[in-house]
Structure formats: structure tokens, C-alpha cells
Amino acid sequence: MTDGIRILLADDQELIRLGFRLVLEAEPEFEVVGEAADGEEAVRAVAEHSPDVVLMDIRMPRTDGIAATREIVAAHPATRVLVLTTFDLDEYAFGALEAGAGGFLLKDVQRAELTAAIRAVHRGDAVLAPAVTRRLIERLHAAPSTPLAPPPAPADPTSELTEREREVFLAIAHGMTNAEIAQHLFVSESTVKTHVGRVLAKIGARDRVHAVILAHRLRLVDAASPGRPGGGGGADGSSQTA
């Protein structure tokens, strides 16, 4: 039997928590193990219940979701945080990612997309609302010194990559989806997924978002490039997952 995914709900609105609970408990592998009405409660609840994934609101009383995420990620590295908010604001998205969240979605996300995002974050992938990857890359181009770097890495963490893995790494850095990478490199999506997993392991990146950040920190992507190898630089219409 496949192990289930234990989920903690952190939101200051009881009806929101109830709605998420009803949606998630309809999935056989999901178990809602606790709830929290603010960030302070969320930190305590994670220590008590050891959830696999926390669905975290940002605007909450006392301790907000970004501060709570930072505490949870530092104290409980096995717990992944997926931020859901009503507000599509850059300071929230970047703040959540900097704090260590594994994903950032809006609360109007469709049910199937939410459940898929939880599964993705649980297995270690990054999940972003459609425009966030593009804005993250644009912000890195505009301000290379912005404090969004992952934990200190070796001087050249890409030295162990094969030629094909390096191509995949650079494609990730340009914000390409797995489908776009597969089309660009003339390989299957399953092959791309395998390469992405190997790339993240070799460069020591926690997830796809940190791979993007690392590539730009290392100046491996030309800031003047259009954003995607062989194509334009616009964001696509689906959540980005590794």
C-alpha cells in the first residue's frame, strides 16, 4: 500500500480550512492531520503532527505565513510548504520562496491543480503559479545581488553535469517546462524528468526554483537573452513543476 500524504492546513479563516479539508480528504492518499489559524500555531502544529506538506496562507495574525515557513523549513526539513494566497504580489511570492517554500499558488487554483501540486511538492518538486517563474527570472536579471540564493554551494556545482544534463539545467534556468525541454531537445518528457532529477541532485538544489536561482547566480544565463533557448520568453499557462 502506498504511504499517504499527511497535510496540515494553516489559514486564519475557518471556512477556508473547512473547504480545503473537504477537497483533500476526498483523495484517498491524503490525510489532514491538523489545522492552524496563524503562523505561530502552524509552527507548533508541525512540531506536534510532523506533516509531510503544509498548506500555508500568508496574511495571518501574530506570525505571518512567510515567517512561519522560514521557521518550519529550518526546524523540520522533511516537511514541505506549499503557499496558497489570495494575493498575486511579487513580495509575497519571492518572500515565500526565499523562506524555503516548495511552491506558491493562488487560492483560486482548480481542484485538480491543487491536488497535483501537493503531490509534486511532497516528492520534492517545485510548483509555481504560471507567471511567477518568469517574474523570478526577470528579477534575477534586474538585480543579480537580490538575496534569494540557495544555501552555499561548491565553487562550480555544475562541473559533474554531463553535456545533456547541462543543456537541461540551462533550459530550467530559462523557465522552460518539461514539455518544452522535451520538444527543444527532441526527447521524451519521461527522459527530461530523469535528467531534471539528476541535475538537481548533482548541483545540490532543493528544487527547480533553486536551480533557476543558482544558474543566474553563476551567470550561466545571458541576461540579454530572450528567456528560452530557441524561442520567446513569455510565461506559459500552467503551473511549473519539475
Please give the pLDDT value at position 224. 36
Residue 40 pLDDT level (bands cut at 50, 70, 90):
very high
Pairing of strands 5-10, 103-106: unpaired
pLDDT of residue 237: 37
Domain 5-129 CATH class label: alpha beta
- 150 versus 138: the higher-pLDDT residue is 138
Q: What is the pLDDT of residues 42-56, one digit of tens each?
A: 999 999 999 999 999
- pLDDT tens digits along 178-201: 888 999 999 998 999 899 989 988
**Residue 132 pLDDT level (bands cut at 50, 70, 90):** low
Its CATH class, for the domain covering 134-241, is alpha beta
Predicted model pTM: 0.64
Task: Return d(Cα 128, Cα 209) in angstroms, integer.
Answer: 9
Domain boundaries, the chain: 5-129, 134-241
- The pLDDT value recorded for residue 238 is 45
pLDDT of the residue at 154: 46
Mean pLDDT value across the chain: 80
Instruction: Centre a 10 Å sphere on the Cβ of residue 167 and count the other Cβ atoms it contains.
Output: 17
Once rounded to an integer, what is the mean pLDDT over residues 151-179? 80
pLDDT for 227 beyond 60: no
Do domains 5-129 and 134-241 share one topology? The answer is yes
